[in-house]
Structure formats: C-alpha cells, structure tokens
C-alpha cells in the first residue's frame, strides 16, 4: 500500500492510499483539486501535471520522452515535472509528495 500526498496550488495537503493503478486515477477518484485527467490517462493532455519533490525523483524516475513532449507545452514544467497518468502506483511510491501544477 502506498500513501501519496498531494499539495494543491492553494497549499492544501491531502494524503491518500492505493495499492495499484495510476497516480492520476487516484487523484481523480479523491477529487484532488487541479488534477483533471481530461484524456483519461493516455498522456495526451497534461491536465494531470505534478511536480515531484527533488528527494523523490529517483523513486518516480524522470519523465519519458512522450511525457516531455506533452510537458513542453506547459510553461511551468521543469526537471521535476511528471504527468501523474504515467506514474504507476506500487509500494515504492509510499510517502512521496506531489505538488499539483497550476
């Protein structure tokens, strides 16, 4: 079971738990403000953009080429940007903190 904390742009922190699925689906199911998942998780809209804390980037890994292509359209993207639809939940994600992009 992984506990994942989301921090919204207004500073609200919400910690939720899951065993599997994607981080985006978990966020949508728990009404995390700022995570829309408009494309349904097929990496084609970037409405699930999050920033991984620097200390957690080795756990999540860096964005794939397809993610980077989508993130190039967002002026706020940086080296810690990920699309949460591309983050598969497993025990290794337990305790990570994700800042929801504006």
CATH code (residue 85): 3.10.20.30
pLDDT computed for residue 99 by the predictor: 98
Q: Nearest 5°: CA angle at 80, between 14 and 25?
A: 45
Q: Mind listing the pLDDT tens digit for each residue in 10-25?
A: 999 999 999 999 999 9
The DSSP secondary-structure symbol of 88 reads: B
CB 33 within 8 A of CB 8: yes
Over the range 29-50, which residues count as b (16 or more CB within 10 Å of their CB) and which as e?
A: eeebebbebebebebebbbbbb
Report the first-to-last Cα separation within the chain, whole angstroms.
Answer: 28
Averaged pLDDT of the chain: 96
Number of domains within the chain = 1
List the domain range (segments joined by +) for residue 45.
Answer: 2-100
User: What percent of the chain is modeled with pLDDT above 90?
Assistant: 92
């Amino acid at each position: 079971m992984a506990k994942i904390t989301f921090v919204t742009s207004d500073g609200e922190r919400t910690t939720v738990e899951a065993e599997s699925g994607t981080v985006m689906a978990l966020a949508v199911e728990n009404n995390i403000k700022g995570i829309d998942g408009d494309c349904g998780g097929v990496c084609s809209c970037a409405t699930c953009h999050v920033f991984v804390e620097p200390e957690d980037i080795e756990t999540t890994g860096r964005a794939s080429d397809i993610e980077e292509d989508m993130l190039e359209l967002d002026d706020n993207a940086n080296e810690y940007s990920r699309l949460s639809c591309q983050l598969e939940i497993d025990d290794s994600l337990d305790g990570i903190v994700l800042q929801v992009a504006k």
